[in-house]
């Protein structure tokens, strides 16, 4: 009979205390798993969505709000900017490519983005079926939009005014799905793309170039020199505002990071309490089982074997807790994602990241930490004394 089986059966003979210890460890590991998965995915999404955009130009207001609305599509824009000013900036020598965005409408909460063909090159978009938008009221939709809204090429739909609600429908003009994008792994999976003229048409702004407005411009620099010169030129020389996605994303992540750090410490504290609980459990059970262990010695078990049996008990408890915790963490994140309102930053619990191996190693370390003292006591026990006492 292997030491593993002896330890395993000993654990199962105390289902309540073993179960509580496993749950305590699972709780701590579960929180750490959620934090690890969520922060990795958020960071990845932030980087994926902004990697080729050097600067966003929009109406004055909060720079973070401008970035959130124009790159991640999760906040309201700061306002509109005159098309004329935007065109001037687009032709600035510091600018390699300027992609205009016109926001303002949605379809069942999915944002409709008026833009031009620069958007296709900026995100390297590829088609799954159909074609890219060209004529007015043609739309190319992201892969998730097609799935979730059950839309296919040739279907028509009405946009609604605003970015979240579906109340004020533009019933005079229906969009027609011209194409569906192949999965891109970024925010474009969750957008409806059309030309800017369509957005203007919805809002009765067909005429008069001087009055036309767009929401923002996504800028790619021509040279490193632009990094220094262009934002200053926009902020000081015009009525517009420039915001750097890299800087604002870092600021955003550091803001989120405070909460993540607090939760991380909280989870580590739970893990520590779990380790102490496993230690107390093993230590107390060792007192109760000292006669058991002495009997095992009289049956021929070596000191090393008793040491291994006690260490294995600690390891089985903590590793089981860690595995349950990691599984619960994935399940919880998938459930959170299921009820998540924002379709633009959807998280998933169905991915595994290499850092999770560290959680398993942490479980292993806690198991050894919690059982080493009881195991040493089992190793050193004086069986003659224990047997004589009983």
Question: Rule CB under 8 A: which residues touch other proteins?
Answer: 1-2, 6, 9-10, 12-13, 291-292, 295-305, 383-384, 387-388, 390
Helix H or strand E segment including 144:
helix 143-149
Q: Would you say 86 or 320 has its CB closer to other proteins?
A: 320
Number of other residues whose CB lies within 10 A of the CB of residue 377: 18
Helices 3-12/303-338 angle, 10° precision: 60
Q: How far is the CB of 47 from other proteins (least distance, A)?
A: 52
Q: Would you say 301 or 319 has its CB closer to other proteins?
A: 301
Q: Would you say 283 or 291 has its CB closer to other proteins?
A: 291
Q: Would you say 43 or 292 has its CB closer to other proteins?
A: 292
Q: Would you say 208 or 300 has its CB closer to other proteins?
A: 300
Q: How far is the CB of 330 from other proteins (least distance, A)?
A: 32
Q: How far is the CB of 25 from other proteins (least distance, A)?
A: 21
Residues sharing a CB contact under 8 Å with residue 304, sequence separation 6 or more, in sequence order = 379
Q: For 104, phi and psi rounded to 5 degrees?
A: 150, -20
Is residue 241 classed as helix, strand or coil in its secondary structure?
A: strand
* Token duo for residue 316: 């089985």
Q: How far is the CB of 316 from other proteins (least distance, A)?
A: 13
Q: How far is the CB of 24 from other proteins (least distance, A)?
A: 22
Q: How far is the CB of 2 from other proteins (least distance, A)?
A: 8
Dihedral through CA 92, CA 67, CA 186, CA 74, nearest 10? -140
Q: Would you say 176 or 305 has its CB closer to other proteins?
A: 305
Q: Would you say 309 or 347 has its CB closer to other proteins?
A: 309
Burial class (CB in 10 A: 0-12, 13-18, 19+), 384: exposed
Q: Which of 382, 387, 375 is nearest to 7 (CA)?
A: 375
Q: How far is the CB of 317 from other proteins (least distance, A)?
A: 14
* Token duo for residue 44: 């990845």
What is the C-alpha radius of gyration for the chain, rounded to an integer number of angstroms? 30
Separation between Cα atoms, residue 54 and residue 99, nearest integer Å? 12
């Amino acid at each position: 009979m292997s030491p593993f089986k002896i330890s395993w059966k000993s654990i199962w003979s105390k289902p309540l205390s073993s179960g509580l210890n496993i749950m305590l460890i699972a709780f701590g590991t579960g929180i750490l798993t959620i934090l690890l998965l969520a922060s990795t995915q958020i960071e990845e999404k932030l980087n994926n969505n902004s990697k080729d955009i050097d600067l966003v130009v929009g109406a004055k207001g909060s720079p973070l709000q401008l970035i959130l609305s124009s790159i991640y599509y999760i906040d309201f824009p700061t306002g509109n900017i005159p098309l004329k000013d935007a065109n001037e900036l687009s032709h600035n020598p510091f600018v390699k490519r300027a992609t205009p965005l016109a926001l303002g409408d949605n379809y069942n909460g999915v944002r409709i983005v008026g833009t031009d063909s620069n958007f296709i090159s900026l995100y390297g978009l590829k088609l799954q079926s159909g074609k890219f938008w060209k004529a007015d009221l043609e739309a190319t939709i992201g892969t998730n939009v097609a799935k979730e809204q059950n839309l296919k090429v040739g279907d028509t739909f009405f946009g609604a005014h605003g970015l979240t609600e579906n109340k004020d429908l533009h019933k005079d003009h229906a969009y027609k799905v011209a194409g569906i994008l192949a999965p891109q792994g970024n925010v474009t999976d969750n957008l409806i793309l059309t030309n800017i003229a369509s957005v203007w048409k919805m809002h009765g702004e067909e005429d008069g170039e001087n009055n036309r407005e767009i929401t923002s411009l996504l800028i790619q620099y021509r040279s490193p020199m632009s990094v220094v010169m262009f934002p200053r030129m926009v902020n000081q020389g015009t009525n517009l505002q420039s915001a750097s996605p890299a800087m604002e994303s870092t600021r955003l992540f550091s803001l989120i990071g405070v909460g993540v750090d607090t939760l991380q410490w909280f989870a580590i504290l739970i893990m520590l309490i779990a380790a102490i609980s496993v230690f107390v459990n093993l230590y107390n059970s060792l007192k109760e089982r000292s006669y058991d262990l002495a009997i095992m010695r009289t049956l021929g078990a070596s000191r090393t074997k008793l040491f291994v049996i006690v260490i294995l008990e600690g390891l089985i408890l903590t590793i089981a807790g860690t595995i349950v915790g990691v599984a619960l963490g994935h399940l919880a994140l998938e459930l959170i994602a299921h009820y998540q309102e924002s379709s633009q930053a959807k998280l998933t619990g169905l991915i595994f990241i290499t850092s999770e191996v560290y959680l398993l190693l942490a479980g292993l370390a806690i198991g050894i930490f919690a059982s080493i003292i009881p195991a040493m006591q089992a190793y050193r026990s004086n069986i003659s004394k224990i047997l004589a006492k009983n």
